Amino acid sequence: MYLLGLGLILLVLKYAEIGLVAAWSWWVIAIPFGLAVAWWAWADNSGYTKRRAMEFEDKRRADRRRRTKQALDASFEKSRKR
């Protein structure tokens, strides 16, 4: 995502002919986009993206279970004191 952002910034600077970037070749401006495509291809083919999504879901599930247990324990303690 950082590469895509860098590419967009360089693209705007080149198009608006601002600063040093105006003198650069269009090929130099295209490099971050090519690297972003290569990164996404690697991440998808290696399973990196899927692993990250699974880790995120596991963390959400564990947090939900923890909150539920805390809520159940709190209500148990309240009913026990009566």
Q: According to the model, what pLDDT value does residue 78 have?
A: 64
Check whether residue 74 and residue 59 sit in a common domain.
yes
Domain match, 5 and 42 both:
yes
pLDDT at position 80: 62
Calpha distance 26→13 (Å, rounded): 11
Tens digit of pLDDT for each residue in 10-53? 999 999 999 999 999 999 999 999 999 999 999 889 988 888 88
Domain count, the chain: 2
Domain that holds residue 36: 1-46
Looking at the fold, whether 42 and 2 belong to one and the same domain comes out as: yes
Both 40 and 54 in a single domain?
Answer: no
Residues 1 and 34 in one domain: yes
What pLDDT score was predicted for residue 70?
85
SS3 state of residue 46? helix
pTM (two decimals): 0.63
41 & 55 share domain: no
* Contacts of 13 by beta carbon, 8 Å cutoff, 6+ apart: 19, 21, 22
- Residue 39 shares a structural domain with residue 58: no
